[in-house]
Amino acid sequence: MSDAIRYELLGDIAVLAAANPPVNALGQAVRQGLVDGIERAEKDGAKAVLIYGEGATYFAGADIKEFGKPPLAPWLPDVCTRIEASPLIVVSALHGTALGGGLEVALGSHYRIAVPKARVGLPEVLIGVMPGAGGTQRLPRLIGVEKSIEVITSGRQIGAKEALDLGILDRIEDGAPREIGLAYARELIDAGAPRRAVSDMPAPAPVDFDALYRDVLKAGRGQLSPAVAVRGIQAACELPFAEGMKRERELFMELMATDQRQGLIHAFFGERAVGKLPELEGVAPREVHHVGVIGGGTMGAGIATAALLAGLNVTMLEMTDDAAQAAKGRIAGNLQGALKRGKISEDRFTHLTEVALRTDTNYLSLADADLVIEAVFEDMEVKKQVFGKLDAVCKPGAVLATNTSYLDVNVIAQATSRPGDVIGLHFFSPAHVMKLLEVVVADATAPDVVATGFALGKRLGKISVRAGVCDGFIGNRILAVYRTAADHMILDGATPFQIDDALEEFGFAMGPYAVGDLAGLDIGWAVRKRRRAEGLDPRARDAGFADRLCEGGNFGQKTGKGFYIYEKGSRARVPNPDVMQHIEAERAAKGITPRTFTKDEIVRRYMAAMVNEAAKVVGEGIARRPLDVDMVLLFGYGFPRYHGGPLKWADMQGLPGLLDDIRAYAKEDAFFWQPAPLLETLVTDNRTFDDLNKESA
């Protein structure tokens, strides 16, 4: 017997206890242990078998680390079939999260009992595959086609009560899984309960699976796994059980071979790796209970909302009483949203807005704050003044953070006598919704201040990524470059609408020009004006058509008009005809003869610009690892998760081909398309960005 499954015979009940921390993933040893355990129980003359997990959870799924490697026997579908075929009564007792292959083992068992806090689900589509051990065959027989489609294509976790109501569970009982499982098995033996197999249940009636496949593919913006899972459910309806299992396996293996599966699994592990930094090992964060926020505009109000929802006390500092009231109104508005969605109760809403939140106009109110986040206007002089005042009033050891988008955190830190306490905490709009937080580490930032930034991010439910100081840090710096590449394509003949369409087809929720309209075109306008004032390199191509829109007072959705026209009360967008006039005028003035761009060319250039700048950001140490950049783009910029992030995408495309493209583009514009030295080195050494991730793990 393998150590991963502990066998014990207690009278006429054989107990198979999984011991494969941290999540009892169903690796080869666990699978072998389950088969051996069932066989031994049968030989030992047991009447029932109890399967449960030791530690935090029942099986949380197949071992994702084995994916992409040759599958090792026994395969999980066979394990589930073997369990189900046993003449003994097999009971699974669930706690923690019975997910994916875990739930499939439970569905292969004859009876399922769970603790009230247990959660079940088939989340395989979220990592680019589909249930591959009978999930698409057994679940529809148990709960019907319609419910199975919803559960499997969403991959969502289902609470025990709902699972009981759906018929996935037979019983819920409070207690230790081993104890409730043993009691249930005893009861079943004593009652002479029959051995039941889900595979013996009749196949459900089919629905219009072709239409469903198309709808699911569209809803997933091209993500294959949920749509292919629909085909698995179809097989359950149309084929005998054993044939359906074969079909499921084929579909599962097809998905396993896709780039999307690689991308989604890269995202799964990247999300978990991104906060693990050697520099933070053994460094304790400073305690944070009371947070000060300076400036209650869009960002400050969102940051305050996130902090309040995480149980922190917040003091909001504004310039005037009126501005403070307005900030309080914005925060209350955000919290109203949480109230409406049932995330907080009325009482909690009242507590957060009336007790946990204070507003003030006097810096002395921040004297006992543990951490202060500045979110005032993006103006260095204003920021310096604010930090000078903070230096004067804040207690020793308070962390002083800036939410600046582009400004130099080192210069801001120098406005204080304690640069070691200063850090950038760059949130994304809306700050109480967006998952990304860039933790910007300046030259003098103390390690425990960095640790505090990460601890705060975790508390606020953010994905925190370490960034170094440069214009725009990781995300905005890369954004500026790929947006510029898009502007250049427009000067040369593409339209903003074609670019948006091409990138939406690639998987972005919105193309860059639609995003500009949503965020407000005035933001980019201000950045361009600042950069021009600082002096553009004479070799840089400058595009002015977006400025023409802004000069006309068209800032996007908030003014009803930008690249698109938005009817009041409607989210539908219609291309703004003025845009093409501005573009054509600019092309004419610059003597450009427009040419056509295919969708592929658009994506290729846009992505090449993104990858090249991302490689510079890693090469310069602004991002520690390629995966850090990938997580920034996924969680802050709507990059399609199933491509894994720009650098994972680049690896899958092949770095030599991308570098060739960049060199070809450089023949047209050598200034813009300067290949990243890191990209060149990787190509020369025949290595990938992922090799760098692995080296740093």
Report d(CA 359, CA 337) in Å as an integer: 20
- Regarding 117 and contact with ligand 3HC (CB under 6 A), the answer is no
- Regarding 76 and contact with ligand 3HC (CB under 6 A), the answer is yes
Report d(CA 312, CA 109) in Å as an integer: 45
- Taking the C-alpha atoms of 213, 215, 221 and 227 in order, what is their torsion angle to the nearest 10 degrees? -20
Asked if 334 is an active-site residue, the reply is no
Asked if 405 is an active-site residue, the reply is yes
- Regarding 297 and contact with ligand NAI (CB under 6 A), the answer is yes
Q: Which stretch binds ligand NAI (CB under 6 A): 207-215, 424-432, 465-473, 657-665?
A: 424-432
Number of residues that bind ligand NAI (CB under 6 A): 23
Phi and psi at residue 401, to the nearest 5°: -115, 150
- Regarding 323 and contact with ligand NAI (CB under 6 A), the answer is yes
* Nearest-approach distance from CB 99 to ligand 3HC, in angstroms: 4
Asked if 432 is an active-site residue, the reply is no
317 binds, among ligand NAI, ligand 3HC, none (CB under 5 to 8 A by kind): ligand NAI
- Cβ contacts of residue 294 below 8 Å, gap of 6+? 300, 317, 366, 372, 373, 374, 375, 376, 386, 390
- Regarding 331 and contact with ligand NAI (CB under 6 A), the answer is no
Asked if 426 is an active-site residue, the reply is yes
Report d(CA 21, CA 59) in Å as an integer: 10
Of 405, 464, 576, 612, the active-site residue reads: 405
- Regarding 375 and contact with ligand NAI (CB under 6 A), the answer is yes
The CA distances from residue 449 to 272, 401, 601, in Å, are: 21, 10, 44
Written as one letter, the residue type at 60 is: A
Of 2, 24, 199, 476, the active-site residue reads: 476
- Regarding 60 and contact with ligand 3HC (CB under 6 A), the answer is yes
Cβ–Cβ < 8 Å for 3, 27? no
- Regarding 378 and contact with ligand NAI (CB under 6 A), the answer is yes
- Regarding 197 and contact with ligand 3HC (CB under 6 A), the answer is no
Report d(CA 72, CA 82) in Å as an integer: 16
Nearer to ligand 3HC, 17 or 129 (CB): 129
Neighbours of 28 (CB within 10 A): 17
Q: Which stretch binds ligand 3HC (CB under 6 A): 35-43, 122-130, 203-211, 599-607?
A: 122-130
Report d(CA 321, CA 585) in Å as an integer: 47
Phi and psi at residue 310, to the nearest 5°: -90, 5
490 CA to centre of own chain: 31
- Regarding 124 and contact with ligand 3HC (CB under 6 A), the answer is yes
Of 266, 290, 426, 582, the active-site residue reads: 426
- Regarding 440 and contact with ligand NAI (CB under 6 A), the answer is no
- Regarding 108 and contact with ligand 3HC (CB under 6 A), the answer is no
Q: Which tokens go with 427?
A: 């949130």
Q: What is the three-class DSSP state of 396?
A: coil
127 binds, among ligand 3HC, ligand NAI, none (CB under 5 to 8 A by kind): ligand 3HC
Cβ–Cβ < 8 Å for 110, 196? yes
- Regarding 63 and contact with ligand 3HC (CB under 6 A), the answer is yes
- Regarding 318 and contact with ligand NAI (CB under 6 A), the answer is yes
Report d(CA 159, CA 184) in Å as an integer: 20
Q: Supply the DSSP symbol for 358.
A: E
Nearer to ligand NAI, 283 or 393 (CB): 393
Q: 125, 93, 43: which is closest to 642 by C-alpha?
A: 125
- Site residues for ligand 3HC, window 245-284 (CB under 6 A)? 272
x/- contact string, 10-49, with ligand 3HC (CB under 6 A)? ------------xx-x------------------------
- Regarding 294 and contact with ligand NAI (CB under 6 A), the answer is yes
Nearer to ligand NAI, 319 or 588 (CB): 319
The b/e string for 513-522 (b: 16+ C-beta within 10 A; e otherwise) is: bbbbbbbbbb
Written as one letter, the residue type at 442 is: A
Q: What is the three-class DSSP state of 135?
A: helix
Q: Which stretch binds ligand NAI (CB under 6 A): 118-126, 269-277, 377-385, 579-587?
A: 377-385
The residues facing 464 across adjacent strands are 437
Give the residue numbers annotated as catalytic, written as ranges. 405, 426, 438, 476
Task: Note the residues at the interface with ligand NAI (CB under 6 A).
Answer: 294-300, 317-319, 323, 375-378, 382, 386, 403-405, 427-429
Task: Note the residues at the interface with ligand 3HC (CB under 6 A).
Answer: 22-23, 25, 60-65, 76, 97, 99-101, 104, 123-124, 127, 129, 131-133, 135, 272
